[in-house]
Amino acid sequence: MDVARGKVVETNSQQLTAAQQEAVAHQDGPMLILAGPGSGKTRVVTHRIANLLQIGVPAHQIAALTFTNKAAQEMGNRLATIAPGQDVWMGTFHRFCARLLRRYASMVGLAENYSIYDTSDSKQAMKRAIAAAEVSTSHTSADQIAAVISRAKNRLVSPEMMQGQSLRHNEAVAARVYPVYQKQLLLSNAVDFDDLLFHVANLLRENPELRSELDSRYRYIMVDEYQDTNLAQYAIVRSLSVDYPNLAVTGDPDQSIYGWRGADINNILDFEKDYPHVKTVRLEKNYRSAPNILRIADQLIKHNTRRKDKQLLTDREEGAPVVLRMYEDGYREADDIADQITAAIQNEGCRPQDFAVFCRMNALTRSVEHAFRSRGLPYQIVNGVEFYQRKEIKDLLAYFHLVNNPAHDVALQRVINVPTRGIGAKSIERLRDFADGNGLTLLDAARNSDQIEALPTRSATKIRQFVEMFDRLSLKATGSLEELLLHLLEQTDYRAFLRKSSVDEQDNSPLANVDELLTAAVEFDRQFPEDGSLEAFLEQVALVSDTDAFDEENDRVTLMTMHAAKGLEFPRVFIIGVEDDLLPHYRSKEDPMQVEEERRLLFVGITRAEERLQLSCCKRRALRGDLRPVVGSPFLMELPREEMRFIEPEDSNQFFDSGDEFGDESFSVDGDAPEIWDQSNDSATTNEIDEVCQLPPDELPAKKAAKKPALIPAGLKTAANLLNEQSNDDKIPLNDFRNGMIVHHEEYGAGKVTAVSGRGPKRTATIEFSSGAARSFRLAFAKLTLGEQ
DNA sequence: GATGTTCCATTTTTT
DNA sequence: ATGGAACATC
């Protein structure tokens, strides 16, 4: 795994505060560390581990459970600096369970080479289960059923327990699908994400000897982000802390943001009830943020009812006021933020990595990305799973999965006709029927394809050929990943298939992705030369999370969701789209508890900022295709306006330095400005837009049309588009770089392209200059123009 | 059976 | 806007 250095320089334990020292010194018995944002929680936990080691606790008796690999890594790195060479187990809950489950797979009816289905795999499996269960999905959907089942598993509800309960419609449907789905998973020797926890929790509950063995094996357990644990996770740590109740959990109820995934905030709120003799430590001193940022955060979170009241204290100096800014639309918002960052880098000596832009949902990163790219501002989008969700990567990995676990039906269905080899939907359906009818896996059914009466000989032959190809491939399973992948690519002629099926000729990114996967395989081979690396590789791939993609060594502006931002910190933070229906999201507005969670999400975002913070919202936002009027988030009303600096769009001729005037009066000066803080639906702008939108295009009043970008049909150029195009004018489109092309670089002069790889912002070209030097450039940022031939 | 077309919903957040 | 699924055509 990559080694990322922590930003915080470790100091010795003398410099811990009294509260921190108290937590560090705690040895036996349960402990609850209520740690506010930026309170040095990771530092406390690592020092405590070091302390335990020092007093003679063997490293293998300690386990630290986190929610992301990133957090585990960070902890590991820090521990390495204060207690080097100690083999303390650190990792995510899911990885911990995956590991236990490998060992005790047979006890839950799995084989040790079981596969972990990712979300799309389990969705496929779900569809098949729904069909097999013969239920109607007329008033529900596969997604809804999946959600109900997921929730059930998180709450340790088994298929049997779900029967016979009085349920709502989609729950009743789910209750019928659930047992079928579980049976199919077992037959496929597979688990979904929830099963990792579910199986382990059941294992511990049903096998007292095993439970006590593991309890004594893991005598000291630490859980990070305890506020985000669900019932299954709760049950797991609880049953590992009976004989040796040395469970130390850290968390902050105010940062509980995974309720939608089954996390139960009561786990942390009731911890003291669960463990009567618990030692509770509150870390309330904040080392991260300027006081004005903390006051804003504090004011906001005070509006929640389900919480433990907590102070946020800091010694830091007062900083610049928090900015609350309104823009005309998302494009202006993105452009302005890009400009602000560019200016700060030029004039204030900031570096790209000092900045982060947070949003409620991934879709909002698009416009920001565009603005950054057009300015040559280096950035990283933190969504680690993206690469592994690309078609070509999923295809190849599906072959890997099938080699590792031939029962993996989802993988087989994915690849049996990829590349196309004449096995169509009908054949697959017959194969599936045969498998279902005889309780076989799809591969076993395929091995007996000549016995399937419904199958034409022609199809049976094709299927047999596929099985033969697969068997040849399987022979490579014990070799290196590189060897396996190369063999696979050759046997299936996959690259040719990609070239043939790619829609536009220019786009060779699928091929570049294949190369990137190859690189990853080689790298994994290098790191884990032992046997069995295929399984380990697939497990690692299955359990990567978005946050894991964050690279703090990289000098780039970071773009991510607030969920992904938890646990991180940046000197300057922008939070975009602080708008009603987005934050809080409209789906969460019915339930006051969910609204509180949304408020906590904003709290998490705000408290990531060290020095400066800007919250912004727009008058209009392009979402789901078209530009719609929006209003500011009700949360903005909860902030102490007198402490903030409010900035309106320039072209409405309004500029308010600070908050006193920020209310009604500000807006009434200009009749055109919408009352963004007013949630009522009858705001002037809303009506105006609606009204105009109903007119046929040629009847649009010219004046209004000119003023409202909202009314410009997609495809026409907006001012923002034009601007961006201009600045890109002389640059070569990314995908136009070809080997042998002659280019010109500002600094190095003329050169020839010798290699191109990567895609999107990572697209890179190697160029040999006339001086003889060769250099690689990220094309999105390099200053390259077309050279003379 | 393969390929192309249209239509549809779908998007909150993620291990 | 995008991608998947259903439908139509070769």
Mean pLDDT, consecutive 10-residue segments, chain A of 789 residues?
34 72 94 93 93 94 92 91 90 94 95 92 90 82 89 93 80 90 94 95 96 96 94 95 94 92 88 89 92 94 87 88 93 93 95 94 89 90 79 92 94 91 89 90 92 88 93 90 93 87 67 88 86 85 81 88 92 95 88 92 96 94 83 93 86 40 32 36 32 31 28 26 31 55 69 60 59 60 56
Rounded CA separation A75/A66 (Å)? 9
From the list A358, A385, A406, the residue with the least C-alpha distance to A114 is A406
> Among the residues of A528-623, which ranges form H helices?
533-542, 562-565, 592-606
Nucleotide nearest to A391 (CA to C1'): C3
Annotated ligand binding at A772? The verdict is no
Q: What's the Å distance between residue A181 CA and nucleotide B1 C1'? A: 30
Q: What's the Å distance between residue A380 CA and nucleotide B15 C1'? A: 22
From the list A2, A638, A759, the residue with the least C-alpha distance to A304 is A638
pLDDT score recorded for residue A248: 95
Is A589 a catalytic site residue?
A: no
Residue A86: burial class (beta carbons within 10 Å; 0-12, 13-18, 19+): middle
Q: Rounded to the nearest 10 degrees, what angle do helices A169-187 and A119-133 cross at?
A: 110
From residues 730-769 of A, list those within 7 angstroms of strand B by Cβ. Answer: none
From the list A511, A556, A510, A551, the residue with the least C-alpha distance to A369 is A556
Rounded CA separation A17/A26 (Å)? 14
Rounded CA separation A719/A713 (Å)? 13
From the list A85, A68, A16, A69, the residue with the least C-alpha distance to A45 is A16
Q: Which two tokens stand for residue A718?
A: 């907006």
How many C-beta atoms lie closer than 10 Å to residue A624's C-beta?
A: 7
Is A41 a catalytic site residue?
A: yes
Annotated ligand binding at A42? The verdict is yes
Nucleotide nearest to A626 (CA to C1'): C1
Annotated ligand binding at A253? The verdict is no
Look up the pTM and report it: 0.80
C-beta of residue A74 within 8 angstroms of C-beta of residue A289: no
C-beta of residue A645 within 8 angstroms of C-beta of residue A322: yes
Annotated ligand binding at A37? The verdict is yes
DSSP strands (E only) in A127-284? 190-191, 220-223, 246-251, 279-283
Is A478 a catalytic site residue?
A: no
Nucleotide nearest to A389 (CA to C1'): C3
Amino acid present at A669: V
Q: What's the Å distance between residue A127 CA and nucleotide B8 C1'? A: 18
From the candidates A118, A121, A225, A329, give the one annotated as an active-site residue: A225
Q: Which residue is nearest to nucleotide B10 (CA to C1')?
A: A624
Rounded CA separation A38/A571 (Å)? 13
**Any atom of strand C under 7 A from CB of A713?**
no
From residues 361-400 of A, list those within 7 angstroms of strand C by Cβ. Answer: 391
Strand bridging mode A749-757 / A764-769: antiparallel
Annotated ligand binding at A733? The verdict is no
From residues 569-628 of A, list those within 7 angstroms of strand B by Cβ. Answer: 585, 587-588, 594, 624-625
Q: What's the Å distance between residue A413 CA and nucleotide B11 C1'? A: 26
Nucleotide nearest to A625 (CA to C1'): C1
Q: Which residue is nearest to nucleotide B14 (CA to C1')?
A: A545
Rounded CA separation A278/A246 (Å)? 10
**Any atom of strand C under 7 A from CB of A714?**
yes
Q: What's the Å distance between residue A543 CA and nucleotide B3 C1'? A: 36
C-beta of residue A395 within 8 angstroms of C-beta of residue A418: yes
Is A21 a catalytic site residue?
A: no
pLDDT score recorded for residue A4: 35
Distance (Å) of CA A688 to CA A331, A544, A579, A773: 21, 47, 20, 61
**Any atom of strand B under 7 A from CB of A94?**
yes
**Any atom of strand C under 7 A from CB of A715?**
yes
- Under DSSP, the state recorded for A713 is P
Annotated ligand binding at A500? The verdict is no
From the list A777, A782, A778, A776, the residue with the least C-alpha distance to A762 is A778
Q: Which two tokens stand for residue A365?
A: 């990163």
Annotated ligand binding at A39? The verdict is yes
